[in-house]
Structure 1
Amino acid sequence: MPDRNSFEEQYASGNVAKLETSHGAGESSPNYEIAELKPRFSVLAAIGIQFSISATPLAIGGYLTFILGVGGSPFFFYGFIVASIGQIFLCASLAEIAAVHPHASGQVFWTAALAPPEWSRVLSYWNGACTTLGWVFANAGTYVFAAQIWLATMEIRFPGYQKEPYQVFLMCLALAGVGLILNIWLFRWYPHVTTFMVWFINAGTIYVLVTLLVRAVPKNSAHDVFVKVINATGWESDGLVFFLNFLPGCVALACFDTAAHMAEEMEHPHKQIPQVMVGATALCAMTAIPMILVFLFCTVNPMALLQPLAGQPVFQVFIDGFRSDALLVVALIIYCVTYLSSCPATIATGSRLVWSFAKHGGLPFQNWIGHVDPALQVPVNAVYLTAIISSLITLLVFGPTTVLNGVFGASAVCFFFSYGLPIWLLMWRGRKSLPERRYFNLGRLGFPLNFLTLCWQLLSVVFLCFPLYQPVTASNMNWASAAAIVGFVVFGFNWFLYAKKHYRTPTRLVVPADGDVEETVA
């Protein structure tokens, strides 16, 4: 296998074809990038990162309040099915592009590679802005949701205890600290942790599924689960309410670019990235659907979900269904470990994006943020920055919950543009812009899948920004789009004050560990 020095010698001597790329701000740019990070992740370990973030079969229980009035059980189930299909189409469309253009910046490079030369630089910058905002917001949301799960277990085990906002914030800092430790000093062991989490989450899912089926009585009827629609939202149209049920599926099947940002840490990224993207998404969907059915049939006391104990609907289902303190404790441990594992996973993914975007001039202090520790082989400063900024966002726990939820919902809006732009450009340029020889090829299904993906994105993003209840007030308003606009304004200032002069588009990644150099580069 060639090392970095030998590959550069081959390149200099002309043995490897030079590539045409965009240049930034009138400056010459190298035609390729040699991977700076050490390959560490197998396909299963990388799947573990994405699976740890979504934890779909367990996390879907957090949306069970939908069955009370936002369409009831039928809309919850069928809405998830429709959302899953749309998200799988989106994942497949992105995986095909990732197989051709593997890069740690992910869709930032995909946009640069597919855009017309005169628009490549500005479009890739704004994709980087959207992707950075999406991951920072998602990282902060992960801290808060994990902190709430941990403190909810304390409220359940110690009835006299009630969590305070400052305790949620302190728990967020503690979870960020765990993420920093695993992402810096113990990172050599992190692939083993993510591999373990694949088995742990699936084992936990089986435990919850079987225990609820055995213990929960009485079960709900098939009519209640599949037919009985309950619309207490205030919206007159049941069709509109059905669209609101896309939210659980869109959130549960997401973060498709997780593997893409770990490109430099895989030996064969052009093969492994699409394998992870499709594999992790399929795993999430296949495990979530039976789990949803079990939740719907085994919710013994639906009205208790209006004011669930410790504020967690899924824990209320366990309390009512298990009817056993010992069984409940095991489930609480499963949820605590699962949500804890999501924090280092979002830091790992988000920091690679921040590192890559910064070293190409998309963020100030590019030399500091883009530095890789030579001993640890980790972009340490980018890891610190990602964890700290996300922790600062969690200060919103001291404010109104509507603003906090709006910031977290903004991640979905940002990912809409981030994921959509490369696909839009591919449709505009035509599928012949992709080389015929590629590992993941949708073939004749490519154009209709890309078209359906764009339609799905336009439909889903509208209803992800809809308030669930009518009349709309300040307390139930969905502030996701407003929070996203604030983030866009910040990156607009960054463009004019810094990036317009310094930003250059990413260039094709070369991973020297890949035995087939020509396949990686060509």
Structure 2
Amino acid sequence: MNRGHELDTIVDNGMQKSRYHSEIEPVTKEKRDAQVLARLGKKSVLERRFGFISILGFTCTILVTWEGSLILFTTGLTNGGSAGLVYGYLLVWIGTIAVYTTMAELASMAPTAGGQYHWVSMLAPPSIRNFMSYIMGWLVICGWQAILAGGGYLAGTMIEALIQLNHANYVPQLWHGTLLFWATIVVAVFINTVTSGVLPKIEAFILVVHVVGFFAVLIPIVYLAPNKASAHDVFTQFSNGGAWPTQGLSFFIGLVGNVFAMFGCDSAVHMAEEIKNAEIVVPWSMLTTTVLNGALGFGIVIAVLFVTTDITAALSSPTGLLGYPFMQIFYDATGSKAGASVMIAIIIMMDAAATIAFLATASRLVWAFARDRGLPGWRIVSKLQPKTAIPMLAVIITSSIACLIGLINIGSATAFNDVISLGVSSLYASYVITESFLLWRRCTGGIRMPTDISNDTGEANQLVWGPFHLPGIFGILVNAFAVAFGIIIFFFSFWPVATPVQAAHMNFSVLMTGSVVLFAIFYYVVWARKTYKGPIVEVTPYTMNNPLVVGSAM
């Protein structure tokens, strides 16, 4: 597709000849990736190691939907019951597909590690562009920082619950979970630094484990379960365990568990500068992940609900009191602690693998925002390791903050759960704001088609649709539904689980999210507005050795 009026270009069978070059040169995929990034004002400095399968493994690992649906089983059972969990899952799945379809359009238009904050800088009106982009940067970074901490926390506390299942005399302590949390983060750091060169192969392998592990869990519990619930119980029994005024309110509060098991697919966006043919691979990996993981998650939810004949007993079991009733359900279904432990170990391993991807995503965001001078000490944080092209300091900073957050768990597990809720609220805030600007632009005709070059200025960050695009009214409807769904999830992410609400069980994520926004505003007004002018333009299409060409490398 044409990205600049400097391109008086002849394209013929993958070759190009410009008025600046008399010779004919091949347009390689590597050159195409560099040119697409140059259209966004960025130099290609990271090694492009990921292809479609490896980044699909990366995003599937990030979502860990069927695993996460089990890990966060309690939320939906408490508010919604079995029927609420089923219908809530379907609603969240449909909404998530709309959200990531819209974001896939943005990723195809601008595949850069900055993601939401870069997109907002492109889409927002000039008068608020820099300010909104800066706030967005902080929201997305804090959201992914919270997700990283949450991944380590869940891995650590699940190990505790597994020990509890096999050793009834074990008494878990809060500091035990923190130490196991730190061990998970250390493993993630090792793989992201020392073995970073083989990370794509690791992610491809994890994709296989993700799919095979699903059947390794599903088949035994369905086949071995001695008793099964009726379809009437599964699909019609609602519960209002939070004692809310209405069942409908309880249902919406229970959605958050399914949301947490199905969000974070924008991780592929933040890895875009390390992905080959990113403008095509990133959007399709996001959509494939959402559909595949959603189907696997729905299958495991239905299966577990059918083999759970006494939900109350599962919730009140030792592992249920630790927040993981699925472990008791596995044991009841198989009648074997060894068999249940193997299946649980698969889920723990997948959560630990997700933490590896969480760290990679969060560190790339920190690096990208520092590159654009949005963080204190940006000159140092934006540096890459010379040999590996890894943002080493960003990895160290991100993992260190996660470990410090882990200390909160020693004082209060409830407070730490609020940190996890910060991930949902912050990322969904970024989704809603970004997609709202996109909806405004597409409704007012602010985004050009690739073939329309009449107003082409040759500048960086022009609004031109990428190869993945939903045209016309269909795209507008999907975009609008994504915004509406995002607002609902953002609103209910701040609600506590049950009433009456006491300080010990209050959801303080609204305070945390508000504090992040207020800090970002304060820092921007006092200091950052002097240095942050939106994503910096390191290179323009004019400065490339070879101009952009019509079409995209396949």
- Taking structure 2 as the reference length, the TM-score comes to 0.85
Which residue of structure 2 lines up, in the alignment, with residue 45 of structure 1?
Answer: 54
Q: Determine if contact 1:405/1:479 at 8 Å carries over to the other structure.
A: no
Alpha-carbon distance in structure 2 between the residues aligned to 1:340 and 1:309: 23
Alpha-carbon distance in structure 2 between the residues aligned to 1:199 and 1:286: 16
Q: Does 1:401 align with 2:401?
A: no
Alpha-carbon distance in structure 1 between the residues aligned to 2:545 and 2:104: 21
* Alpha-carbon offset, residue 329 of structure 1: 2.6
Q: Which amino acid in structure 1 is aligned with residue 371 of structure 2?
A: K
Q: Does 1:296 align with 2:305?
A: yes
For residues 380 and 517 of structure 1, do their structure 2 counterparts lie closer, same or farther at Cα, with a shift above 3 Å needed?
farther
Which residue of structure 2 lines up, in the alignment, with residue 417 of structure 1?
Answer: 429
Q: Does 1:141 align with 2:150?
A: yes
* Alpha-carbon offset, residue 68 of structure 1: 4.9
Q: Does 1:436 align with 2:449?
A: yes
1:327 aligned residue (335, 339, 345) = 339
Which residue of structure 2 lines up, in the alignment, with residue 454 of structure 1?
Answer: 483
For residues 56 and 74 of structure 1, do their structure 2 counterparts lie closer, same or farther at Cα, with a shift above 3 Å needed?
same
Alpha-carbon distance in structure 1 between the residues aligned to 2:289 and 2:152: 22
* Alpha-carbon offset, residue 277 of structure 1: 1.0
Alpha-carbon distance in structure 1 between the residues aligned to 2:62 and 2:214: 15
For residues 176 and 515 of structure 1, do their structure 2 counterparts lie closer, same or farther at Cα, with a shift above 3 Å needed?
farther
Alpha-carbon distance in structure 2 between the residues aligned to 1:138 and 1:66: 17
Which residue of structure 1 lines up, in the alignment, with residue 535 of structure 2?
Answer: 506
2:194 aligned residue (162, 182, 185) = 185
Q: Percent identity?
A: 27
1:383 aligned residue (384, 392, 395) = 395
Alpha-carbon distance in structure 1 between the residues aligned to 2:254 and 2:282: 30
> Deviations 1:11-33 (Å, cap 9, x if unpaired)?
xx9789xxxxxxxxxxxx99721
Q: Determine if contact 1:268/1:514 at 8 Å carries over to the other structure.
A: no
* Alpha-carbon offset, residue 475 of structure 1: 2.7
Alpha-carbon distance in structure 2 between the residues aligned to 1:147 and 1:440: 39
Which residue of structure 2 lines up, in the alignment, with residue 113 of structure 1?
Answer: 122
Q: Does 1:352 align with 2:380?
A: no
* Alpha-carbon offset, residue 513 of structure 1: 13
* Alpha-carbon offset, residue 95 of structure 1: 0.6
Which residue of structure 1 lines up, in the alignment, with residue 379 of structure 2?
Answer: 367
Q: Does 1:225 align with 2:234?
A: yes
Which residue of structure 2 lines up, in the alignment, with residue 126 of structure 1?
Answer: 135
RMSD: 2.6
Q: Which amino acid in structure 2 is aligned with residue 145 of structure 1?
A: L
Q: Does 1:464 align with 2:493?
A: yes
Alpha-carbon distance in structure 2 between the residues aligned to 1:116 and 1:247: 32
Q: Which amino acid in structure 2 is aligned with residue 458 of structure 1?
A: I
Alpha-carbon distance in structure 2 between the residues aligned to 1:116 and 1:67: 40
For residues 440 and 412 of structure 1, do their structure 2 counterparts lie closer, same or farther at Cα, with a shift above 3 Å needed?
same
Which residue of structure 2 lines up, in the alignment, with residue 338 of structure 1?
Answer: 350
Alpha-carbon distance in structure 2 between the residues aligned to 1:435 and 1:217: 60
Which residue of structure 2 lines up, in the alignment, with residue 35 of structure 1?
Answer: 44
Q: Does 1:249 align with 2:249?
A: no
Report the number of matched residues: 500
Q: Does 1:79 align with 2:92?
A: no
Give the secondary-structure state (helix, strand or coil) at the position aligned to 2:503.
coil
* Alpha-carbon offset, residue 172 of structure 1: 1.6
2:73 aligned residue (64, 75, 86) = 64
* Alpha-carbon offset, residue 70 of structure 1: 1.9
Q: Which amino acid in structure 2 is aligned with residue 107 of structure 1?
A: Q
1:495 aligned residue (513, 524, 548) = 524
* Alpha-carbon offset, residue 151 of structure 1: 2.3
> Deviations 1:209-233 (Å, cap 9, x if unpaired)?
1111111121001111001222232
> Deviations 1:288-315 (Å, cap 9, x if unpaired)?
1111100100113322223233322111
Q: Which amino acid in structure 2 is aligned with residue 328 of structure 1?
A: A
* Alpha-carbon offset, residue 337 of structure 1: 1.3
1:316 aligned residue (328, 338, 342) = 328
* Alpha-carbon offset, residue 240 of structure 1: 1.2
- Taking structure 1 as the reference length, the TM-score comes to 0.90
Alpha-carbon distance in structure 1 between the residues aligned to 2:76 and 2:141: 33
Q: Determine if contact 2:73/2:257 at 8 Å carries over to the other structure.
A: no
Q: Does 1:473 align with 2:502?
A: yes
> Where does structure 1 differ by over 6 angstroms across 4 or more consecutive aligned residues?
13-16, 508-516
Alpha-carbon distance in structure 2 between the residues aligned to 1:510 and 1:55: 38
> Deviations 1:180-205 (Å, cap 9, x if unpaired)?
11111100111111111111011111
* Alpha-carbon offset, residue 476 of structure 1: 2.6
2:283 aligned residue (253, 268, 274) = 274
Q: Which amino acid in structure 2 is aligned with residue 436 of structure 1?
A: M
* Alpha-carbon offset, residue 434 of structure 1: 2.8
For residues 515 and 255 of structure 1, do their structure 2 counterparts lie closer, same or farther at Cα, with a shift above 3 Å needed?
farther
Give the secondary-structure state (helix, strand or coil) at the position aligned to 1:433.
coil
> Deviations 1:293-349 (Å, cap 9, x if unpaired)?
001001133222232333221111111111023311321221221111011110000
* Range that drifts further, 231-240 or 431-440: 431-440
* Alpha-carbon offset, residue 478 of structure 1: 1.7
Q: Determine if contact 1:514/1:520 at 8 Å carries over to the other structure.
A: no
* Alpha-carbon offset, residue 156 of structure 1: 2.3
Q: Determine if contact 2:54/2:201 at 8 Å carries over to the other structure.
A: yes
For residues 365 and 144 of structure 1, do their structure 2 counterparts lie closer, same or farther at Cα, with a shift above 3 Å needed?
same
Q: Which amino acid in structure 1 is aligned with residue 487 of structure 2?
A: L
